[in-house]
Amino acid sequence: MVPAAMTHPFHDRPHTTIPTARAPVGAWHHPRMPPIDELTRIEPVHLARLDHQGIFTTGLLLEVSETPTRRQTLADQVDASTNDVLMWRDEALMLNLASFGPDEHQLFIQARIEGLREILDLSLDDFRTRIRAAADELGTDTPTDLTMEGWWDQARTLEDE
């Protein structure tokens, strides 16, 4: 006999669960978008307020801060300045570059590149030099020239965001 807790409420037979692969809790809705807590230039109080507004990925942050009016609305909702929102948006754009993850984020921080604007301020040669130096300092592999050029080109494409 199967214990009552193991039976389906409408059937006499045991309830079975089909195992499925699941993304970590909190990431199921946008598995490829970095979580908002990967932003380094945001205060914990603002992270909590963004979460309360339902903004838990950088993609959602970019969506709700797309226009000046939306940026002002978001700033008002989380008790921040529009400059704060622009700064978060700048870093979120960088975090959403192709082939970019936590290791690359650390590499950029080491290179003193915290957002898209700082990429845009560098020539491709200067950008590569800073990334190479940061990789050496961290003792990690240097990204390929093609990858670095791709990031630099994407930053130029996103310049007007």
d(CA 116, CA 120): 6
More confident residue, 117 or 1: 117
pLDDT tier at 147, thresholds 50, 70, 90: very high
Cβ atoms within 10 Å, residue 122: 17
pLDDT > 90 fraction of the chain, expressed in percent and rounded:
71
Q: What is the pLDDT of residues 84-142, one digit of tens each?
A: 999 999 999 999 888 888 999 999 999 999 999 999 999 999 999 999 999 999 999 99
Cα dihedral 61, 42, 71, 100 sign: negative
pLDDT value of position 130: 98
73, 101 contact by CB (below 8 A): no
d(CA 39, CA 114): 9
d(CA 97, CA 125): 19
What is the domain partition of the chain in residue ranges? Answer: 33-96, 100-161
- Residue 95 burial class via C-beta count within 10 angstroms: exposed 0-12, middle 13-18, buried 19 and up: buried
More confident residue, 21 or 147: 147
d(CA 40, CA 108): 12
pLDDT value of position 146: 96
pTM across the whole model: 0.74
Q: What is the pLDDT of residues 104-119, one digit of tens each?
A: 999 999 999 999 999 9
pLDDT value of position 32: 72
pLDDT value of position 33: 82
